[in-house]
Amino acid sequence: MIRRSFPFLVLSLCLLTGCHQVTLVVTEIPGNTPPGAALFISGNFNYWDPGDGRYMLRFNGDSTYTVQLPRGDGTIFCKFTRGDWHTVEGDNCGNISSHRQIRYGNVDTVFARIASWGDMGPIRCDQVTFTLEKIPANTPARGPVYLTGNFNQWNPRDERYRLQRSKEGRYYITLSGQSGLMEFKFTRGNWTTEEVDTYGNTISNRTFLFGRQDTVLLELNGWRDFKPTNPVMVTVVLEVPPNTPAGDKIYLAGNFNDWIPKDSGLVLNKLPDGRFTLNLPRKEDYIEFKFTRGDWSAVEADAAGNDIENRSFTYGRKDTLFLKVKSWRDIASLKTFR
């Protein structure tokens, strides 16, 4: 049995009923289209050949492109490409779009816009789905989770932005019709239940720029009203040289406070036995630090009064640090402290 292709049928219909012709005008192409790229249209009229030179679009010099479809009758199904199926057109969010349909006889000119290319990614996606791949283990099983941000005046319990739950138990929400930069956070209904980092600290606003992604996978590490499961504190116990001025305060300075040498929030408390102590909250996994007496001229030094390397500590290894200062840079009389 001989299968007759669409072009043969078109010719037959033309002989029997007369033919129509359609001019296709592309008024807009994606902004990330490679300069000078050749554009093609393929469909059921040319065996879906994505790089058929007979149907390469002509650039008109005014940012539009034109191609004349073959004479025929009935319906044409087609798509635009840049020469192969790897570069086929997609929708605003880069997803594969349905075939275009053009009905002969309705109009003689059809205007079209190409939203994206399969190999280039989207540039104007106005929809995004946020999916929480990980949530804190202590999240109430039946409790709601909300999205809040600059799009709803930071309302922490806006029912329009309550996340749904999939069959697998994942929370998700889809936003559409948005544009520009979005700032947001997740809550369980009020600001006392907002998300925090692993150690219970406030996090910066999350951000998302509409246009390039339609799916974002996220993780939540903790809730403000629940105690973190990770170690959140280390106790520093410090021994100082005998020549430390009796009335001087001892401070901790490090990468966790911009190396401020006299931070009133990081002053050590003196113990009855003459040692000093401080409970240091965990704000990150790894810290570097030094002790001072309020100024970098009075920073700790080695036994000879020379500068020492930054001290360091990785949280989780222990909950108490026993340390010694051997001398201070500004103390003239240097004695080895053992």
With a pLDDT cut of 90, the percent of the chain lying above it is 69
Asked if 87 and 146 sit in the same domain, the reply is no
Quote the CA–CA distance of 175 and 122 in Å, as a whole number: 16
* CB of 91 closer than 8 Å to CB of 6: no
Q: Is 106 helix (H, G, I), strand (E, B) or coil?
A: coil
Residue 260 has pLDDT above 80, yes or no: yes
Residue 61 has pLDDT above 80, yes or no: yes
pLDDT one-digit tens code per residue, 81-102: 999 999 999 988 888 889 999 9
Give pLDDT, residue 282.
79
Residue 1 lies in a domain: no
pLDDT one-digit tens code per residue, 290-315: 999 999 999 999 988 899 999 999 88
Asked if 15 and 88 sit in the same domain, the reply is yes
Asked if 14 and 107 sit in the same domain, the reply is yes
Q: Which helix (H) or strand (E) holds 11?
A: helix 6-17
With a pLDDT cut of 70, the percent of the chain lying above it is 91
Where does a domain end: 117, 150, 167? 117
Read off the pLDDT band of 232 (50, 70, 90): low
Give pLDDT, residue 97.
86
Residue 282 lies in a domain: yes
Asked if 196 and 155 sit in the same domain, the reply is yes
Asked if 23 and 107 sit in the same domain, the reply is yes
Asked if 10 and 97 sit in the same domain, the reply is yes
Residue 81 lies in a domain: yes
Q: How many domains is the chain partitioned into structurally?
A: 3
Residue 337 lies in a domain: no
CATH number of the domain that residue 76 is part of: 2.60.40.10
pLDDT averaged over every residue in the chain: 89
Residue 61 lies in a domain: yes
Regarding pTM above 0.75, the answer is no
Residue 334 lies in a domain: no
Residue 250 lies in a domain: yes
Give pLDDT, residue 140.
93
235: β partners: 279, 320
Give pLDDT, residue 96.
87
* CB of 296 closer than 8 Å to CB of 259: no
Where does a domain end: 60, 83, 117? 117
Give pLDDT, residue 177.
82
Asked if 91 and 152 sit in the same domain, the reply is no
Asked if 104 and 169 sit in the same domain, the reply is no
Stretch 242-264: mean pLDDT: 95
pLDDT one-digit tens code per residue, 195-217: 998 878 899 999 999 887 889 99
Quote the CA–CA distance of 250 and 245 in Å, as a whole number: 10
Give pLDDT, residue 242.
93
Secondary structure of the chain: what % helix, strand, coil (to 5)?
10, 35, 55
Q: What does the radius of gyration of the chain's CA atoms come to, in whole angstroms?
A: 34
Quote the CA–CA distance of 252 and 266 in Å, as a whole number: 6
Residue 3 has pLDDT above 80, yes or no: no
What is the domain range of residue 311?
Answer: 233-328
Where does a domain end: 223, 256, 291? 223
Residue 335 lies in a domain: no
Residue 230 has pLDDT above 70, yes or no: no
Asked if 156 and 79 sit in the same domain, the reply is no
Asked if 12 and 113 sit in the same domain, the reply is yes
Q: Which helix (H) or strand (E) holds 110?
A: strand 109-113
pLDDT one-digit tens code per residue, 7-47: 544 444 554 455 888 999 999 999 999 999 999 999 999 99
Asked if 181 and 136 sit in the same domain, the reply is yes
pLDDT one-digit tens code per residue, 131-140: 999 999 999 9
pLDDT one-digit tens code per residue, 318-332: 889 999 999 999 985
pLDDT one-digit tens code per residue, 117-130: 999 988 888 889 99
Asked if 86 and 167 sit in the same domain, the reply is no
